[in-house]
């Protein structure tokens, strides 16, 4: 890009590379806002229990059908940097609280849309940013005030939370909603730890295993670990009761030396002695395992065929090439210690379980380890008729697990169905009156942006969005804080009475993520895009017949 000096006849100064595109000022800001609004419009129709799904086809032809906001923006393969920023918003929301990804992206887009109205009225971006940041602090304060504390052990409330999270998913049809909610609640309560009166949940302790076949209602919670492996030798037992489990991160094989060496064998006797020595080494490894009293061996690496034979003779059930993540969960559940060498293995390192059994699930065999000594690691075995359904069920159960974790750790809930958004909108507009100047306008617009959530819910429920918002505002002005949109029944109602509730932590993270994204985009007033690299020259022999041009 050349910048021409004012004096005639002088050589232009080259500042940027040839082909670089630059958009600055209001034009850059508006083009960025337009991109954010496009992403918002894409996701808006997926919000809530009546939200529609998106079919995403990647460059390899693989199909994903989902209404999970994080999955949609992640798999869309967006190119524009602003769209990528909104993908990061969804990712942050998913990592932090596991739910509310669609809401976060939709609210980000709406905040920028409202900011555009202020730009039209010649309000400077820095004033909008200042107003938005102040409004977000106030919104978090007011959200805390309208929240309700609950007993983390109140299973009925936890079920309501899980059902609210799952109600917007594909799995919500039939008995799947109640059943999956129950699985999620039981799994989280099983792995939750209480320290000084506070609950802590590590969701890594909950393994989700998918197997095609049967239906979602046939999914199970296993209070132990399920390994997607089979017993390595047909002569080994398929069922071990009172299991003593050795977990080893080493190969039961004769290791080959790193240095290259050649050995000349001149007679069959020499060859036999080599093979015998190899067999003796493997037999010694097996004897070391058997000497500890172990009757189950879980190995992260390979097990030689000869070693398998000796293990089978010793009556030891063995599994090889287990995943590292499974090894960690198994060690936690059985109170075992992962050892890195068979020489180090002792009886003190063994874990225990009531039963270890190989079972056929669908067309494949899996090893179930149940009745563990310390069942603080569990497995949810998901079943379903298709891979796409199983993938969506996994995403759904992930959200439900996070929701229950959030409430156990935070202990606060708010009404669902857009009720808190309406209440926050009204309260922020009231607090904005204390401000003077254009900053007040920014806070008012921030408050208006919240109304996009109940508006979309009313629209997907088949209600008139305008009428629904007018009635909701009136109800909230009367002090009916929990009134929102019951999307399933298509009416306005008290969400707490209808058992439609959300964790406060999810709503708070939505406000934080959406505000940060909007502020970051509003700060940009110059976009300098480098030129694309030139195409690579054709390889020799690719330019026609014999590489010659005609």
Report, in this order, helix, strand and coil percent for the chain, each rounded to 5.
50, 20, 35
On whether both 324 and 420 belong to a single domain, the answer is no
396: in domain: no
Tell me if residue 42 is catalytic. no
Q: How confident is the model at residue 421 (pLDDT cuts 50, 70, 90)?
A: very high
Question: Which pLDDT tens digit goes with each residue over 259-301?
Answer: 666 777 777 776 677 677 778 888 888 888 888 888 999 998 8
77 and 15, same structural domain? yes
Share of the chain above pLDDT 70, in %: 87
User: Domain check: are 37 and 145 in the same one?
Assistant: yes
What is the bridge-based pairing of β-strands 317-319 and 351-361?
unpaired
Whether 102 sits among the annotated catalytic residues: the reply is yes
In a domain? residue 337: yes
Domain-located, residue 105: yes
Q: Are residues 506 and 456 in the same domain?
A: yes
The C-alpha atoms of residue 510 and residue 123 are separated, in whole angstroms, by 26
- The mean pLDDT of 125-134, rounded to a whole number, is 90
The boundaries of the domain holding residue 248 are 224-374
Query: What H or E segment, with its residue span, contains residue 110?
Result: helix 101-120
Query: In this predicted model, what pLDDT tens digit does every residue of 448-503 receive, in sequence order?
Result: 999 999 999 998 888 888 999 999 999 999 988 889 998 888 888 888 888 888 88
User: Could you tell me if 353 and 489 lie in one domain?
Assistant: no
Residue in 94, 205, 399, 486 annotated catalytic: 399
In this predicted structure, the answer to whether residue 118 has a pLDDT above a threshold of 80 is yes
Instruction: Please count the structural domains in the chain.
Output: 2
Same domain, 52 and 133: yes
Q: Is residue 263 part of a domain?
A: yes
> For 413-433, what is the mean pLDDT?
90
Task: Please state the pTM of the whole predicted model.
Answer: 0.78
Residue 27 pLDDT > 60? yes
With 70 as the cut, is the pLDDT of residue 162 above it? yes
pLDDT tier at 549, thresholds 50, 70, 90 = very low
Res 68 pLDDT > 90 = no
**Of 321, 351, 374, at which residue does a domain stop?**
374
Same domain, 366 and 435: no
3-state secondary structure of 353: strand
Residue 487 lies in a domain: yes
Mean pLDDT of 203-211: 88
Is the pLDDT score of 315 beyond 80?
yes
As a whole number of angstroms, the distance between CA 252 and CA 318 comes to: 11
Do 136 and 259 fall into the same domain?
no
Which residue in 101, 103, 164, 334 is the catalytic one? 101
Instruction: Locate 94 and state its tokens.
Output: 């998913």
CATH code of the domain containing 33:
1.10.560.10
Does residue 438 sit in the same domain as residue 361?
Answer: no
Question: Is residue 355 domain-shared with residue 442, that is, in the same domain?
Answer: no
pLDDT score recorded for residue 428: 92
Domain assignment of residue 297, yes or no: yes
CATH number of the structural domain spanning residue 253? 3.50.7.10
Domain boundary among 374, 403, 433: 374
Q: Coil, helix or strand for 113? A: helix
Catalytic residue of the set 45, 64, 71, 102: 102
Considering the domain architecture, whether residues 351 and 464 belong to the same structural domain is answered as: no
Q: Is 354 helix (H, G, I), strand (E, B) or coil?
A: strand
Q: Which of 64, 66, 68, 103 is catalytic?
A: 68
How far, in Å, CA of 300 to CA of 248, rounded? 6
Q: Is residue 549 part of a domain?
A: no
Residues with Cβ < 8 Å from 267, sequence gap 6 or more? Answer: none
Same domain, 425 and 359: no
- Residue 148: active-site member: no
Q: How close are the terminal C-alpha atoms of the chain, in Å?
A: 36
- Is 252 part of a structural domain of the chain? yes
């Amino acid at each position: 890009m050349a910048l021409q000096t004012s004096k005639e006849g002088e050589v232009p100064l080259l500042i940027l590379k040839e082909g670089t595109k630059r958009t600055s000022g209001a034009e850059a800001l508006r083009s960025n806002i337009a991109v954010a609004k496009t992403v918002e419009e894409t996701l808006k129709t997926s919000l809530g229990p009546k939200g529609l799904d998106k079919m995403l086809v990647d460059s390899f032809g693989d199909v994903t059908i989902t209404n999970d906001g994080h999955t949609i923006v992640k798999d869309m393969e967006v190119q524009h940097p602003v769209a990528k920023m909104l993908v990061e918003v969804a990712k942050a929301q998913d990592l932090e609280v596991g739910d509310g990804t669609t809401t976060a992206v939709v609210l980000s887009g709406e905040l920028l849309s409202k900011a555009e109205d202020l730009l039209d009225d010649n309000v400077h971006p820095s004033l909008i940013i200042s107003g938005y940041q102040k409004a977000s602090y106030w919104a978090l304060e007011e959200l805390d005030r309208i929240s309700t504390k609950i007993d983390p052990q109140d299973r009925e409330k936890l079920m309501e939370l899980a059902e609210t999270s799952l109600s917007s998913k594909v799995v919500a049809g039939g008995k799947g909603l109640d059943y999956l909610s129950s699985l999620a609640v039981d799994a989280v309560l099983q792995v939750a730890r209480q320290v000084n009166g506070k609950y802590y949940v590590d969701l890594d302790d909950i393994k989700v295993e998918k197997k095609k076949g049967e239906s979602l209602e046939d999914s199970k919670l296993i209070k132990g670990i399920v390994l997607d492996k089979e017993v390595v030798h047909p002569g080994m037992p398929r069922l071990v009761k009172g299991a003593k489990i050795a977990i080893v991160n080493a190969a039961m094989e004769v290791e080959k030396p790193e240095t290259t060496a050649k050995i000349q064998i001149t007679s069959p006797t020499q060859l036999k002695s080599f093979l015998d020595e190899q067999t003796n080494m493997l037999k010694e490894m097996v004897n070391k395992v058997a000497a500890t009293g172990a009757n189950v061996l879980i190995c992260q690496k390979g097990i030689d065929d000869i070693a398998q034979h000796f293990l089978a003779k010793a009556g030891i059930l063995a599994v090889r090439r287990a995943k590292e993540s499974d090894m960690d969960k198994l060690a936690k559940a059985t109170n075992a210690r992962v050892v890195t060498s068979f020489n180090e293995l002792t009886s003190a390192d063994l874990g225990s379980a009531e039963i270890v059994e190989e079972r056929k699930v669908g067309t494949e065999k899996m090893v179930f380890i149940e009745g563990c000594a310390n069942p603080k690691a569990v497995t949810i075995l998901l079943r379903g008729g298709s891979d796409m359904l199983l993938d969506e069920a996994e995403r759904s159960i992930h959200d439900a697990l996070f929701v229950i974790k959030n409430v156990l750790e935070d202990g606060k809930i708010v009404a669902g169905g857009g009720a808190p958004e309406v209440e926050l909108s009204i309260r922020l507009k009231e607090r904005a009156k204390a401000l003077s100047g254009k900053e007040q306008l920014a806070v008012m617009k921030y408050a208006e942006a919240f109304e996009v959530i109940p508006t979309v819910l009313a629209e997907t429920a088949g209600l008139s969005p305008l009428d629904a918002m007018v009635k909701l505002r009136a109800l909230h002005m009367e002090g009916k804080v929990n009134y929102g949109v019951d999307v399933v029944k298509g009416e306005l109602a008290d969400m707490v009475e209808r058992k439609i509730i959300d964790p406060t932590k999810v709503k708070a993270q939505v406000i934080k993520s959406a505000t940060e994204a909007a502020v970051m985009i509003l700060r940009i007033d110059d976009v300098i895009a480098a030129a694309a690299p030139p195409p690579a020259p054709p390889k020799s022999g690719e330019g026609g017949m014999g590489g010659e041009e005609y």
